[in-house]
Chain A
Amino acid sequence: MHPAEAAGRLSAHELQNARLGLWLFIVSEAALFSAFIAARYLNLGTSRPEELNQLLGLGITGVLLLSSLTAYRAETCIAHGDRPGFLRNVLWTVLLAGVFLVGVVVEWGEGFHYFPPSTRYGTSFFSLTGLHGLHVLSGAVLLLGIYLHGRRGRYGPGEYWPVEGVVKYWHFVDVAWVFIYPTLYLVG
């Protein structure tokens, strides 16, 4: 085993490969979301129901953007050796993920009443928010994982690739919502 690997640290070459692999994964995920978004426009054009809860949509958008800031702060803190800051910001990110998911559940409750999944808009709404919600949930589980490892003393300056990977994934989840939000709530 390479000494750097034994110390839990990736060599510069390994780190570059890991980053490239993650970016390729993110691009493949973006293609999946793009297909769902394209289906919305193909099925419905730019029309949308009036009953959408615009305030809730804007609110959960703000929550997800804020979670990207706390995720960024968590990664930056561990990169600079600030473990308490890292742990605090990861926990905030998980909490905000939970708030976002509660908001989606509330919106689903209203959606089932006004535009159930059997309608054309409902099909797009529930499939897009469901797909995205699953990504939020998986991201929150991964964030909890790095929180627990971080509490046990793992990660530090120069050896935080798992944190970087999870945080990049979390930012991708945010980017996906950047396109889903106008697609479902604003266009039309």
Chain B
Amino acid sequence: MRPDRLPEKLSVGGRVFGALGVLTAVEWFAARWPGALLWLTLIALGKTALIAEYFMHYSQLVRPEE
């Protein structure tokens, strides 16, 4: 891996963390909405997708070169 790409990769992590923070804030309010269980489930699935793709690199399983 090229060392000069380190800042770029680290900034991806920061953006994902920001998105997770926003989703957690939305979750807090969604708990008071009608049909809250559905909204909370969708938000949790969205957060899981972000973590699995960007932090756990799920796609390495099918594209090992990543």
The 6 closest A-B pairs by CB, nearest first: A186-B31, A80-B6, A182-B40, A69-B17, A72-B13, A171-B55
Contacts from A to B (Cβ < 8 Å): 12, 15-16, 19-20, 23, 46, 58, 61-62, 65-66, 68-69, 71-73, 76-77, 79-82, 85, 157, 168, 171-172, 174-175, 178-179, 181-182, 186-187
Bound: A66/B24 CA distance, A: 12
User: A174 and B24: CB pair below 8 A?
Assistant: no
Chain A neighbourhood of B27, CB < 8 A: 181-182, 186
Question: Which one of B2, B16, B44 contacts A178 once the chains associate, using CB atoms below 8 Å?
Answer: B44
Contacts from B to A (Cβ < 8 Å): 1-3, 5-6, 9-10, 13-14, 16-17, 20-21, 24, 27-28, 30-31, 36-37, 40-41, 43-44, 47-48, 51-52, 54-56, 58, 60-61, 64
User: B64 and A80: CB pair below 8 A?
Assistant: no
Chain A neighbourhood of B52, CB < 8 A: 171, 175
Bound: A68/B19 CA distance, A: 13
Question: Which one of B16, B21, B58 contacts A62 once the chains associate, using CB atoms below 8 Å?
Answer: B21
Enumerate 14 A-B pairs (CB-CB under 8 Å) in ascending A order.
A23-B61, A58-B24, A66-B17, A68-B55, A72-B16, A76-B13, A80-B9, A81-B3, A82-B3, A171-B55, A179-B48, A186-B28, A187-B37, A187-B40
Chain B neighbourhood of A68, CB < 8 A: 17, 20, 51, 55
Question: Which one of A23, A80, A168 contacts B3 once the chains associate, using CB atoms below 8 Å?
Answer: A80
User: A178 and B36: CB pair below 8 A?
Assistant: no
Chain A neighbourhood of B43, CB < 8 A: 182
Q: How far is the CB of A30 from chain B (nearest CB, A)?
A: 10
Chain B neighbourhood of A65, CB < 8 A: 17, 20-21, 24
Chain B neighbourhood of A66, CB < 8 A: 17
Question: Which one of A15, A71, A80 contacts B1 once the chains associate, using CB atoms below 8 Å?
Answer: A80
User: A73 and B56: CB pair below 8 A?
Assistant: no
User: A76 and B44: CB pair below 8 A?
Assistant: no
Chain B neighbourhood of A73, CB < 8 A: 10, 13
Q: How far is the CB of A164 from chain B (nearest CB, A)?
A: 8
Q: How far is the CB of A127 from chain B (nearest CB, A)?
A: 19
Q: How far is the CB of A22 from chain B (nearest CB, A)?
A: 10
Bound: A61/B27 CA distance, A: 12
Question: Which one of B1, B21, B55 contacts A72 once the chains associate, using CB atoms below 8 Å?
Answer: B55
Bound: A31/B7 CA distance, A: 36
